[in-house]
A and B are shown apart, each in its own frame.
Chain A
Amino acid sequence: MSPMKAFLGNRNGCSEYPIFCSNTDSQSVRRPSTTIMDSRKKTTTKKEASSALTTFYLFIYNGILTVGWSLILYATVNQVKTYKSVGDLWECRGLWKAIELQLKVCQTAAFLEVIHAMFGLVRSNPMIVLVQIMSRVFLVWGVANYIPQTQFSVGILLAVVAWSITEIIRYAYYVLNLFQVAPQILTWCRYTFFIILYPMGVTGELTTIAKAMQTIYPEVVRNRYSILLPNKFNFGLDYFYFLAVVVCAYAYFPTMYKHMFKQRAKALNISPSKK
């Protein structure tokens, strides 16, 4: 079996791209020390040339994203260093401006991973990847970018810190894995940091959405952000209630969190921990 060939678990249950944290590498189930990430549906009959090209492409892609998220984290930390009081921290002035472009690029670029999954460059279920990216992209474009007041919220800080640490580890892991040199410590980080980062990120996201809802609650403001009737498509969307529905979707969090612990146990070969 070519070392480039994956043996990831079934498509249905596992994804390697959970809502917001590095995890669920079901391939690491059996052999944590030799996990292979890059995988293709195609068999070893595929020409060597394409597999080298794929590897090269994934190296570039994952490499760029590792760097991108590092820049975001760096800019975030620098910005936070300028805050002098709790009030400053709560408001997060200047944070969004400092990271806006990189964040938009990195987070939106993640859609490529759906394409990778669809074409078998990586073995994940494209649907699951899509759903997980959507939640982050929604926060960036549908909340922070759309309703500017939310850019001044500590929620953004929490979310971005959690995302960036997670993504740096994740993408770095992928890069190293392409060449089978991912150190065990990195795997450990990948499957352990989520314990703090996942709830932290969700808290950040929900806080940001709460700020958004608070901002657009008054009718005057609400109408500016909503689609109003009448119109020729007979479609209306009250953005406040739309955000409320999005909040309800976070009810999935406990299930996902528990699922990650199970994945962790499998990946690190330990008996399942409680929680």
Chain B
Amino acid sequence: MSGKNQGNTFRLEVLKARGNGALTTIDSISADATIAELKKRVAQQKPELYSDRQSYRTEPTGKSVKDTQKLSELNIDKVGKIYFKDLGTQIGWSTVFFAEYAGPLFIYLLFYIRPSLVYGSSAGSKPVHLAAHLGAICWTVHYAKRILETIFVHRFSHSTMPVFNLFKNCSYYWSFTALVSFFVNHPKYTPPSFGNAQIYLGLGIFILNEIGNLSIHILLRDLRPAGSTERRIPYPNKINPFTNLFHLVSCPNYTYEIGSWLGFSLMTQTLTALLFTFAGAVQMTIWAKQKHRAYKKDFADKYPKQRKSIIPFLI
């Protein structure tokens, strides 16, 4: 269905980037067609290779080309060949996020609501400490918030990711959930050393950081026009003071996330919660540094110099 301007069509061999031989041949495609259109054509001929799974390069090894580029821009019409890579089974980002967040919700609450299932029948009748109640509430709020954000707030720049990521991410979230929940909801739970003062301080820190994190997500959503993948520099807005953290870091959403979990750990005084906080902080620092580097590269001198990636003044 690439009805073309006649003089402009050519025969394209789609070769496999790794390994030998051709994947398929497209008898007639327009030089003005984009990679996105090529993907559609290939998917027609090879239905199991839906567009999101296809990746193209001009050389067997090298960077993949963007969907928006035309075949003529890449000289493909002269060469008559292009190299294909199968990205493997893809899964939508939304699917991944739901699976990743529904698990923690379910698992944490399992320990909380039905302790006898995990700790034995006598656990059901033991009194539950305030910190454990608040822990369950905070955990639920956090993941419910994430699910809602996935539905209503986030805009994703890729529509899919490899299915292996689902397995990897779920293992991480679900395992840590079990590790945290097991100890916070344990019949032998020991309340925080500084009593209610510590509990409420932790709770307060948690709440403020959750609001902060949400504020940043909303700001980022508004930054990116609907349906586009355009990138702009985020700045604090005048309305929400939580966005002021953008003065100091490139990824304040991650900063707030670490803050939330520190609050949670303080509130529950549970080692595994702190380990979870630390693991998350390490991963988010890696991501923040990547993003920070990308910002500086894309925007060069226009990008605010005093910003660090995730921890103000430090990293």
Interface residues of A (CB under 8 A from B): 229-236
Q: Are B193 and A234 in contact (CB under 8 A)?
A: no
Which residues of B, 182-233, contact A by the 8 Å Cβ criterion?
Answer: 183-184, 186, 188-190, 193
- 28 A-B contacts (beta carbon < 8 Å): A229-B183, A229-B186, A229-B188, A229-B190, A230-B188, A230-B189, A230-B190, A231-B190, A232-B190, A232-B193, A232-B269, A233-B270, A233-B271, A234-B183, A234-B184, A234-B186, A234-B189, A234-B190, A234-B268, A234-B269, A234-B270, A234-B271, A234-B272, A235-B183, A235-B270, A235-B271, A235-B272, A236-B186
Separation in Å of the B314 CB from the closest CB of chain A? Answer: 19
Interchain Cβ contacts within 8 Å, total number: 30
> Hey, which chain A residues are within 8 Å of B186, CB to CB?
229, 234, 236
> Hey, which chain A residues are within 8 Å of B268, CB to CB?
234
State the majority secondary structure of interface residues on A.
loop
- Given A229-B183, A233-B270, 4 other A-B contacts at CB below 8 A? A232-B269, A234-B184, A234-B270, A234-B272
> Hey, which chain A residues are within 8 Å of B188, CB to CB?
229-230
> Hey, which chain A residues are within 8 Å of B184, CB to CB?
234
Task: State the CA gap A8–B141 with chains docked (Å).
Answer: 48
Task: State the CA gap A100–B184 with chains docked (Å).
Answer: 40
> Hey, which chain A residues are within 8 Å of B271, CB to CB?
233-235
Task: State the CA gap A236–B271 with chains docked (Å).
Answer: 9
Separation in Å of the B27 CB from the closest CB of chain A? Answer: 38
> Hey, which chain A residues are within 8 Å of B269, CB to CB?
232-234
Task: State the CA gap A93–B150 with chains docked (Å).
Answer: 61
> Hey, which chain B residues are within 8 Å of A231, CB to CB?
190
Max chain B Cβ within 10 angstroms of own Cβ: one of A230, A234, A236: A234
Task: State the CA gap A235–B265 with chains docked (Å).
Answer: 13
A235 — nearest CB in chain B belongs to which residue? B271
Separation in Å of the B175 CB from the closest CB of chain A? Answer: 11
Which residues of B, 242-301, contact A by the 8 Å Cβ criterion?
Answer: 268-272
A227 — nearest CB in chain B belongs to which residue? B271
Task: State the CA gap A230–B269 with chains docked (Å).
Answer: 12
A230 — nearest CB in chain B belongs to which residue? B188
Separation in Å of the B204 CB from the closest CB of chain A? Answer: 21
Task: State the CA gap A234–B270 with chains docked (Å).
Answer: 5
Task: State the CA gap A229–B186 with chains docked (Å).
Answer: 9
> Hey, which chain B residues are within 8 Å of A230, CB to CB?
188-190
Separation in Å of the A195 CB from the closest CB of chain B? Answer: 28
B131 — nearest CB in chain A belongs to which residue? A234
Which residues of B, 85-113, contact A by the 8 Å Cβ criterion?
Answer: none
Task: State the CA gap A236–B268 with chains docked (Å).
Answer: 15
Task: State the CA gap A274–B189 with chains docked (Å).
Answer: 54
Separation in Å of the A219 CB from the closest CB of chain B? Answer: 15
Q: Nearest 7 A-B pairs (CB), nearest first?
A: A235-B271, A230-B188, A229-B188, A234-B270, A233-B271, A234-B183, A230-B190
